[in-house]
Structure formats: structure tokens, C-alpha cells
């Protein structure tokens, strides 16, 4: 049985344990599961891999929307984009849903010191009242320094001679000092550390670039557009904002694509080293005995896959994310689960472990029973979305991911009419090369998944909660 810390947790509070857990939350921007512990063939991620052996790794975790602002809003509100209305990068949580009690604010209201270092919310000054002190992020000073020196934006990949001046390195150095301070206090803490890399530009120290032989960096399993998918299913625009590339929309020269894939892995290794510094400090201070650690990627990323770059779609590579959680006293450290889980599940999980009541209805479910029993039956489906302007109207790609299939209905936001559908069989076609929506042999699956979409997440969640209650 897990160590539980509060009277409201699903598991009873042991009489000898009355302390509340600390929380170290580490977010990593644009990280798809290109990690050794997720099976990547050459990724050099020893710290993340070692951490996985002490935690539970969620093999099928999914984001709510594959872009920074909405994905982070879903994390921190525990609500889906369809509920908050946060679907664009220019929307803040504070302005859009001001009455929502965010995750960090929930911990602050319950006696935690809450600290934000690096990129947590998409907007640096969003929900400032939810933190015990003003957020800190060295990237803004870094950008000011570059602007002052008149440096151009530069290419989408950068080989850096050393790491100490890079924003993520500065932020982690600050966070390590905060752990020293917070560890001496009687009150528990919620420390959120957000790493910018491997977000573009793929800026990493030379030592991390040198960990990879460019000849061994894997090419995409397919660079072709998904057969039978609508033209708007995959787009690429963010990558073309950088120098050294041809005008949008490309195509991307092979030499540049190869450097980008190399740079992405180098940036991941850079991040892995910084995560290692945080975990080493937690262990050195003895905080690992009473600290929940969460490592989360906000969404995935395309590296020329399906002929696209960056995120901004509903394809598997964009919505599939890494999620690894360590809870003190967990029964099976090093376990893995194939259960379908979502970003919105993290908020209810953390307050459940801490023994706090939900401040309002949250749209995810606590993963605590799954952490305790990784092989148990879980959600039948998880949900994602992405807006797209096509066919002279705003469409919403409404996605359902089940154990075997990914289905998307492209629905007119105003009309409610479905103008296109996608269905991919991950057993026979794990790279999603062919849309099966018009294949008559899959008609029943198409209809089943559309029914799940229309019935929505509530029905899936109610069914799961009944199974947990009666188990």
C-alpha cells in the first residue's frame, strides 16, 4: 500500500505518518518520449532512465492539446480545453477562467510554499497569486542580453560551448538553491521547475551534441503525408521562423533535417543532465523520503514525421507524452503501466496523495489506484483536440485514443458538422501511415469511436470510478 499523507486520500493514513508530502514537479517543453526508458534506440538519458527505475512510467500518457498554452492550462486547472476555452497561445488562465482554483494555488491555500522556476505556465505572469513568491525564469534576461548585443534569432539548432549561461542551466541552479532553503522549513513545498529545451531552437552544449554520431540518429519512420488524411491534418509553421531554412513551407533540405534531429537529441541529453542535478539534490537532502516527484512532457513533437515539423496537430507523435511519477512508499518502484492516462489526471492525483479535497470538479481522475496496482483495468479512452482553419471555417479536431486506435473527427465549430474523419490502427499501423476512415472493414470501429467522442470523457470517467469503488 502507498504511503498516504492525508485523511482524504483513497488510501488510509498510517497513524505513524502525519507529515504532508513535498512536491517537485518538473515539466519539459516539447518532449516526446525519446527517452531510453521509453525505448528510444540511442537516446542518452541516464538520469531519466534511472529515475524511471524508482518510479512508475506511464507508457500511454496523452496531452489534451499539442501546444504549450492549452496543454499547461489543462495541467494546472485540471480542466479540458473544451471547458476552459483555452485553445490558443494568447489566452491566460487568470483572464479566461479567473475563478478556477489552479493546482499551485490549491497547494498554497493549504499551507504549502509554492515556487515557480522556469517555464510552468505558458505566460510568465499568469496566475501570479498562486505562487508564494514571484516566478523566476532566466530566459528573459538571456533574451535581453542577446537583443542588447544585436544578435539575430539564428538557426533552429545551436551548438553551445558550455552550459552554465544557458537559461535552463541558470534556472536549475536557482532551483537547487531553493531546495536547500525549502528543505530546512517545517512547511511542505510545491516546487515547479520548467525546462525550456528541447523546444526550438535546439540549443545544447557541445558535450551533449558529441554524445551522438550523426550517422546513427534515426530518420523518421515515414516522411510521407498520411494516406487518405485531410490536407490540414498535419501542418508545419513554427520551424520556419528560424534562419538558415528555406521559405515556408519548405520542403526541408535533408542536411537541415538531419541536423535538427541531432540537435533535438542533444537538447534532450542536456535536459537529462539538469534533471539529474535536481534529483541528486533531493536525495542529498534526504527529501526523497517525503517528496513526490513528477516528470511530465507538455506535448509531443514531429521531426519530419508525416512531412511535418513541430506539434500543432492530433497525430500520435504530437499528443503522446512522457509521464513518470515517484511517490514515497510506492509498492512497486520501477513499474510500468500501459493504462491510458491524461494530463488532466495529474492535478487530482497530487492532491489525492496530499490528502486535499478537490476545490471544484476536476476533469481527470486520481492515478493513485493505478500507481498502487499498475496492471489494473483503467480508462477505455482518453481525449485530445486541436483547432484548424480549413474549408473556409474554423474546425476542431476532436480526438479519441483507445488502446488500439486513434480517431479524429474534424468538426465545424459553428455548424457542429463533421467534415472529415481519421482512424488509425496502432496494431497494424503504429506509424499512422494510412487513414482507415473510408475502409469498410473498419466501419464498426469508426462508429464506436465516434460514439465515444460524442458521449465524451464523463461517461468514460464515471465507468472507471465505479470500477475503482467496487473493486
What are the residues facing 399 on neighbouring strands?
Answer: 384, 408
Q: Judge if 370 and 399 occupy the same domain.
A: no
Residue 405's nearest CA partner among 371, 374, 443, 375 is 443
Residue 166's nearest CA partner among 201, 138, 206, 208 is 138
List 122, 199, 312, 320, catalytic entry: 122
* Cell numbers placing 93: 488562465
68 is catalytic: yes
Q: Judge if 372 and 397 occupy the same domain.
A: no
In a domain, 16, yes or no: no
Question: What's the structural domain count of the chain?
Answer: 2
Kindly give the confidence (pLDDT) of every residue in the chain, 471 residues in length, as a single tens digit, with 9 standing for 90 and above.
344 444 334 443 332 334 899 999 999 999 999 999 999 999 999 999 999 999 999 999 999 999 999 999 999 999 999 999 999 999 999 999 999 999 999 999 999 999 999 999 999 999 999 999 999 999 999 999 888 888 777 889 999 988 888 999 999 999 999 999 999 999 999 999 999 999 999 999 999 999 999 999 999 999 999 999 999 999 888 888 887 787 766 688 999 999 999 999 999 999 999 999 999 999 999 999 999 999 999 999 999 999 999 999 999 999 999 999 999 999 999 999 999 999 999 999 999 999 999 999 999 999 999 999 999 999 999 999 999 999 999 999 999 999 999 999 999 999 999 999 999 999 999 999 999 999 999 999 999 999 999 999 999 999 998 888 655
pTM attached to this predicted model: 0.95
In a domain, 1, yes or no: no
Q: Judge if 405 and 341 occupy the same domain.
A: no
List 68, 123, 306, 312, catalytic entry: 68
Among the candidates 316, 345, 380, a domain finishes at 380
Residue 24's nearest CA partner among 107, 83, 127 is 107
320 is catalytic: no
Alpha carbons 343 and 78: distance in angstroms, whole number? 8
Angle at 298 between CA 437 and CA 398, to 5 degrees: 25
CATH of the domain at 428: 3.30.1120
* Cell numbers placing 326: 515517484
CATH of the domain at 190: 3.40.720.10
Q: Which domain holds residue 425?
A: 383-470
Helix axes 346-354, 68-77, angle to 10 degrees: 30
3-state secondary structure of 225: coil
Q: Judge if 199 and 320 occupy the same domain.
A: yes
Amino acid at each position: 500500500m502507498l504511503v498516504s499523507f492525508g485523511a482524504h486520500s483513497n488510501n488510509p493514513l498510517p497513524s505513524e505518518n502525519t507529515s504532508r508530502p513535498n512536491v517537485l514537479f518538473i515539466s519539459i517543453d516539447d518532449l516526446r518520449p525519446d527517452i531510453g526508458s521509453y525505448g528510444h534506440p540511442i537516446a542518452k538519458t541516464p538520469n531519466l532512465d534511472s529515475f524511471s527505475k524508482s518510479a512508475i512510467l506511464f507508457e500511454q500518457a496523452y496531452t489534451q492539446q499539442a501546444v504549450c498554452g492549452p496543454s499547461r492550462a489543462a495541467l494546472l486547472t485540471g480542466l479540458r480545453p473544451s471547458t476552459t476555452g483555452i485553445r490558443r497561445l494568447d489566452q491566460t488562465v487568470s483572464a479566461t477562467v479567473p475563478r478556477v482554483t489552479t493546482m499551485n494555488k490549491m497547494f498554497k491555500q493549504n499551507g504549502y510554499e509554492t515556487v515557480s522556476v522556469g517555464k510552468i505556465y505558458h505566460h510568465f505572469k499568469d496566475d501570479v497569486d498562486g505562487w508564494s513568491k514571484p516566478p523566476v525564469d532566466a530566459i528573459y534576461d538571456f533574451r535581453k542580453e542577446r537583443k542588447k548585443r544585436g544578435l539575430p534569432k539564428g538557426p533552429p539548432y545551436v551548438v553551445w560551448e558550455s552550459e552554465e549561461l544557458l537559461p535552463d542551466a541558470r534556472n536549475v541552479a536557482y532551483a537547487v538553491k531553493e531546495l536547500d532553503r525549502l528543505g530546512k522549513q517545517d512547511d511542505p513545498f510545491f516546487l515547479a521547475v520548467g525546462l525550456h529545451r528541447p523546444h526550438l531552437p535546439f540549443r545544447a552544449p557541445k558535450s551533449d551534441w558529441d554524445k551522438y554520431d550523426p550517422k546513427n540518429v534515426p530518420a523518421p519512420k515515414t516522411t510521407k503525408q498520411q494516406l487518405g488524411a485531410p490536407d490540414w491534418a498535419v501542418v508545419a509553421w513554427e520551424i520556419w521562423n528560424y534562419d538558415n531554412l528555406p521559405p515556408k513551407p519548405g520542403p526541408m533540405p535533408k542536411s537541415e533535417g538531419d541536423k535538427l534531429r541531432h540537435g533535438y537529441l542533444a537538447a534532450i541529453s542536456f535536459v537529462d543532465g539538469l534533471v539529474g542535478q535536481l534529483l541528486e539534490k533531493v536525495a542529498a537532502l534526504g527529501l526523497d523520503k517525503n517528496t513526490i516527484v513528477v516528470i511530465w512532457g507538455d506535448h509531443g513533437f514531429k521531426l519530419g514525421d508525416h512531412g511535418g515539423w513541430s506539434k500543432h496537430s492530433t497525430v500520435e507523435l504530437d499528443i503522446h507524452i512522457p509521464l513518470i511519477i515517484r511517490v514515497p512508499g510506492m509498492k512497486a518502484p520501477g513499474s510500468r503501466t500501459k493504462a491510458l492516462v491524461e494530463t488532466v489526471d495529474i492535478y487530482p492525483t497530487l492532491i489525492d496523495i496530499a490528502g486535499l479535497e478537490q476545490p471544484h470538479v476536476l476533469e481527470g481522475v486520481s492515478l493513485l489506484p493505478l500507481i498502487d496496482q499498475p496492471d489494473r483495468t483503467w480508462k477505455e479512452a482518453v481525449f485530445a483536440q486541436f483547432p484548424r482553419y480549413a474549408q473556409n471555417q474554423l474546425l476542431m479536431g476532436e480526438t479519441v485514443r483507445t488502446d488500439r486506435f486513434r480517431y479524429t473527427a474534424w468538426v465545424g465549430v459553428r455548424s457542429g458538422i463533421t467534415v472529415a474523419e481519421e482512424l488509425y490502427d496502432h496494431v497494424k499501423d503504429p506509424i499512422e501511415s494510412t487513414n482507415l476512415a473510408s475502409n469498410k472493414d473498419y466501419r464498426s470501429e469508426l462508429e464506436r469511436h465516434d460514439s465515444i467522442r460524442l458521449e465524451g470523457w464523463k461517461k468514460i470517467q464515471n465507468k472507471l470510478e465505479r470500477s475503482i469503488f467496487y473493486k
